[in-house]
Each structure stands twice: as C-alpha cells, then as structure tokens.
Structure 1
Amino acid sequence: MTTQNHPTAVPSADVLKSQAKRLRADLAAQGTALSHAATLEMVAHQWGARDWNTLSAQAAAPAQGWTPGDRVQGRYLGHRFTGVVKAARLSGSGMWSLTLRFDTAIDVVTSPLFSNMRRQINAVVDAQGVSPRKTSDGQPHLVLT
C-alpha cells in the first residue's frame, strides 16, 4: 500500500470552502464584512498553510492512496487477510472505491449451516482505509492496516 500520512488530514476543498462561507457569515453578523477570497485566506492560515492556493493543493492530494498492484492487508468481516488491489478510484468526497483480491478466499457468512467463500470484493473506504459500512455489531466491514 502506498501511504503518505499527514498528522492532521486536510479535508476536501468543498469542506474548506464551506468553512470559509460560515466564517464570512459569522463575521458579517458581527459587523465585519469580508470578501469570500479573504475568508478563504483566513481558513488557509487556520490550517497552517501559507495561502488558499497552497491549502487547496493539499486538499486535492489524498492523505493515503491505493493503486492497482499494491499489496494490502487488514480485516474483512472480522477475518484477517492479505491481498492485492485490483482497482482503485478516488471520489470527490475523499472516499476510495477499491476492488481487492484476497490471497486466500474468506468465508463471508457467519452461519454454521452454510458458507460463501469470496476471493474478490468491491468496497468503499475513507482515507484511513476504514469502510463506512458496518456489521450488525458495529464493526467496519473492511479495515486496511
């Protein structure tokens, strides 16, 4: 897995722009009128960036990424696995759509009455490699480590 860990992941540009809009509205309510560009610069400084362009570039760079061929490991439906990324796509919301091929098939059924072995899955994960979908006991379907 290819990783570039950042101590504090910068949210997407859409989230940052929303922060600037809220800041502008709050300041206007207090009698301070600023342009949207000025509030974008303020948000950039709050995130430790030199200016909006720098922060915007950081927001566009994924905190963690996967590419086809990467070796991965983790837990799927509670089962440990190793495998390879067959396909990876980053969405605008910062979520990753992955196709993983396990080295060894995993039984995705917990029933003692039957089995369903899977060698390949499609999943969506966040930048930390954790799926938003959860099992009935609250555990993420997929966790990449």
Structure 2
Amino acid sequence: MKVLVMYVDEFGYTPAQKNLESAEEITEGAVFTDSILAFIQVEENDEENDVKSREKKLVNHLKWTARKNNCKKVILHSFAHLSESKASVEFTKQIFDEAEKRLQNAEFETAQTPFGYFLDLSIKAPGYSLARIWTSL
C-alpha cells in the first residue's frame, strides 16, 4: 500500500467522470477544512494479507500524521497513481470502509471521496515539514 498524506487548510472536489460502472451516482462535490487528506493506493500484494491487518496499519499511520498536525479530520481518497500495482476494487473499498469505521471509533471526523470517479480537485496546503508525508505500508 502506498500513501501520500497532506495536511490541508482546504480541500474540495467535484465529480468529473465516473470510471467504475458499479459506483453509485454522485453529482455533488464537497469542501473540507483543517484536515488530513490521504491519497491511498492499495496494491495487489496487500491482498495476500487480511483486510484487518492492512487497514490497521493504514489507520495507525493516519492517526500518527493527524496527531503531528494537531488535527481530528481525515479524508480518504483512492488514488491509483502511486504504484503500478493495483488491488481489486472490492478489496480496496473494504479497506477504505473499515479504516473509516476505525477512525470514527477513535473520535475522528472522516470522509471518503467518491469511489470510482475522476474528480476535479482543489487543494490549499501549507508548506512545512510534516504537512506532506509519503510512505509505503
């Protein structure tokens, strides 16, 4: 799993193009402030492990990043451009849903960008050391 995390002053998206037939129809965008934005790519080799172990590793990293940025909001964004390897749609979505539940249980505000869409993005992010963190989990 590859993860690029950014602390954002503001992040917004608008659905541009549906690219997954089974995705629900979404036409409205959203805007978030003072949040951790996680660009996440679940890779094929992640499927060799169970969902729970991969999701727990992801959540621990996101919670650490949020603490470092004094933040309690996390946005999960599927971003299949961090690696050539891709897990199945079903496995990826399951990790996202389970990670969101775990974060909510830890009293984080959470959101997921629309899964199965290309999105128009607007990002305003400050330029300091821990505002951008990349990792391979």
Same fold (TM over 0.5): no
Please tell me the TM-score bracket, short chain as reference.
under 0.3
| TM-score, with structure 1 as normaliser | 0.26
Tell me which protein shows more helix as a share of its residues.
Answer: 2
Tell me which protein shows more strand as a share of its residues.
Answer: 2
| TM-score, with structure 2 as normaliser | 0.27
Using CA pairs below 8 Å that are at least 6 residues apart, which structure has the higher relative contact order?
A: 2
